[in-house]
Amino acid sequence: MNEGDKRTLKVAVLGCGAVGSQVVRLLAEQHDDMAARVGVPVELVGVAVRRLDAPRDVEVPDGLLTTDAAALVARDDVDVVVEVIGGIEPARSLILSALENGASVVTANKALLAEDGPTLFEAAAKAERDLYYEAAVAGAIPILRPLRESLAGDRVTRVLGIVNGTTNFILDRMDTSGAGFSEALEEAQELGYAEADPTADVEGFDAAAKAAILASLAFHSRVTAADVHREGISEVTAADVASARDMGSVVKLLAICELRPGPDGQDVVAARVHPAMIPRSHPLASVHEAYNAVFVESEAAGRLMFYGPGAGGAPTASAVLGDLVTVARNRLAGTRGAGESAYADRAVQPMGETRTRYHVAIDVDDRAGVLAAVANAFADHDVSIQTVRQEGRGADAQLVVVSHEAPDAALSATVAQLRGMDIVREVTSVMRVEGDSE
């Protein structure tokens, strides 16, 4: 390693796509400022790519490109490896190998961290090196460092966020133009927000990975993507969005991480990603287009909101470079940042037991006893109703019921029962409700 040599800090970048190319560009453009901030020049010593002749958004200096990422991380003079390839393999092996070889690592790879974070954290601890990943959640927005450092003396009880720009863009378009999901997705693809295969974004996988990372840091426990209940937005209809509008609400894809009282007096973690209605007066309702925002509630601080660009090459590279400067300073000081704090080891609450609220819109026959029958379906599952609104439309009527908090399983059983009732013509919209005082 570069231990004794403090004259330069050597950096290898793995991957030169949307994020990697911006990291390489900013490293060159900010060379002098970075040197001043770190204390020594930060020198790019290699950029691993898949194809040498691929078109790139940045000109990489001669001799730095290589297709052999494994050889680059095996070099004994590299201080920091920046992993911006994405995906599970070879990213995981490359990060592990970099740590074993004594380099510190900066990554933006939420999929890998959410699937196998503990393996990486243990490797970093064993190697006594830093592993930083601010870019992995909500892009440029500083949210992981505030949770890990600024709020380390407080007790965070809830993290509620819009952490996927693509789905926020789609839902925002559905709200402002009345478009259906497919039409809004097409527009997002044309504008370059959504990928050709939009599954990771629209089905909530990307947000669930970020929820796992947020819950782990907020609650000092290990939460993986498999622990996060996940529903995407592909089933959200124009009718759902219109129904939300009638309620003075808007539909957002939310990542919700909560500390909840568990059965044996120990707090448990509940982590979920699903579309939900939030009142237009809630701060998250004013997050438009592809922006992200994370709302944090903690005992002493109260409510905090973090807002900004959650994606894009340059914004994400900003977070990567911030980590790079921190990691570089630690290295020069011969120290490392605080490792992962998972001492709390909390159980994860199953979604069926997690308390939520539902908004249910139902087309029913407009005759005596119908309202009572619908109310009874809620009572059968011990679900208390908060509000009911009815609009007569000739022979039929629309009922809109909003429940109080109840276990999610009881609410979904209520909806299943409603769907089987003769007087119910159609359940036209079912959506969870968040961000409202009970």
Ligand X SMILES: N[C@@H](CCO)C(=O)O
Ligand Y SMILES: NC(=O)c1ccc[n+]([C@@H]2O[C@H](COP(=O)([O-])OP(=O)(O)OC[C@H]3O[C@@H](n4cnc5c(N)ncnc54)[C@H](O)[C@@H]3O)[C@@H](O)[C@H]2O)c1
Query: Could you list the active site residues?
Result: 210
For CA atoms 85, 89, 95, 101, the dihedral sign is negative
Contact partner, 134, from Na ion, ligand X, ligand Y, none, Cβ < 5-8 Å per class = Na ion
Contact partner, 164, from Na ion, ligand Y, ligand X, none, Cβ < 5-8 Å per class = ligand X
Element housing 379 (H / E): helix 370-380
Least distance to ligand Y from the beta carbon of 407, Å?
34
The residue among 33 and 289 lying less far from ligand X, judged by its C-beta, is 289
Contact 75, 12 (CB under 8 A): yes
Check residue 134 for interaction with Na ion (CB under 5 A).
yes
Would you give the distance in Å from CA 182 to the centre of its chain? Answer: 23
Check residue 138 for interaction with Na ion (CB under 5 A).
yes
The residue among 88 and 416 lying less far from ligand Y, judged by its C-beta, is 88
Contact 280, 249 (CB under 8 A): yes
Contact 332, 388 (CB under 8 A): no
Backbone dihedral angles phi then psi of residue 5, each to the nearest 5 degrees: -90, 100
Least distance to ligand X from the beta carbon of 231, Å?
17
Question: Which residue in 117, 146, 165, 204 binds ligand X (CB under 6 A)?
Answer: 165
Backbone dihedral angles phi then psi of residue 192, each to the nearest 5 degrees: 85, 10
Question: Which residue in 79, 201, 227, 231 binds ligand X (CB under 6 A)?
Answer: 201
The residue among 49 and 247 lying less far from ligand Y, judged by its C-beta, is 49
Strands (DSSP E) contained in 264-394 are 267-279, 291-298, 302-309, 355-365, 385-393
Query: Which segment (132-140, 294-302, 346-354, 425-433) binds Na ion by CB under 5 A?
Result: 132-140
Check residue 166 for interaction with ligand X (CB under 6 A).
yes
Number of residues counted as binding ligand X (CB under 6 A): 8
Contact partner, 175, from Na ion, ligand X, ligand Y, none, Cβ < 5-8 Å per class = none
Least distance to ligand Y from the beta carbon of 229, Å?
21
The residue among 184 and 294 lying less far from Na ion, judged by its C-beta, is 294
| d(C-alpha 149, C-alpha 135), whole Å | 16
Return the DSSP state at 61.
P
Q: How far is CA 235 from CA 145, 173, 264, 418, 431, in A?
A: 34, 15, 37, 19, 11
Query: Which segment (70-78, 128-136, 270-278, 324-332) binds Na ion by CB under 5 A?
Result: 128-136
Least distance to ligand X from the beta carbon of 117, Å?
16
| d(C-alpha 378, C-alpha 56), whole Å | 58
Question: Which residue in 146, 161, 275, 310 binds ligand X (CB under 6 A)?
Answer: 310
Query: Which segment (163-171, 272-280, 355-363, 426-434) binds ligand X by CB under 6 A?
Result: 163-171
Least distance to ligand Y from the beta carbon of 322, Å?
13
The residue among 162 and 402 lying less far from ligand X, judged by its C-beta, is 162
| d(C-alpha 419, C-alpha 112), whole Å | 40
Backbone conformation region of residue 218, classed left if phi is above 0, alpha if psi is from -120 to 50, else beta: alpha
Q: Residue 56 half-sphere exposure, CB side, CA atoms within 13 Å?
A: 23
Dihedral in degrees, nearest 10, Cα atoms 40, 46, 49, 51: 140
Contact partner, 109, from Na ion, ligand Y, ligand X, none, Cβ < 5-8 Å per class = ligand Y
The residue among 90 and 339 lying less far from ligand Y, judged by its C-beta, is 90
Least distance to Na ion from the beta carbon of 306, Å?
8
Contact partner, 201, from ligand Y, Na ion, ligand X, none, Cβ < 5-8 Å per class = ligand X
Element housing 212 (H / E): helix 205-219
The residue among 71 and 379 lying less far from ligand Y, judged by its C-beta, is 71
Contact partner, 90, from ligand X, Na ion, ligand Y, none, Cβ < 5-8 Å per class = ligand Y
| d(C-alpha 166, C-alpha 430), whole Å | 22
Contact partner, 224, from Na ion, ligand Y, ligand X, none, Cβ < 5-8 Å per class = none
Contact partner, 69, from ligand Y, ligand X, Na ion, none, Cβ < 5-8 Å per class = ligand Y
User: Residue type at 24?
Assistant: V
Least distance to ligand Y from the beta carbon of 111, Å?
6
Element housing 432 (H / E): strand 424-433
- Give residues in contact with ligand X (CB under 6 A): 139, 164-166, 201, 206, 310-311
- Give residues in contact with Na ion (CB under 5 A): 134, 138, 141, 319
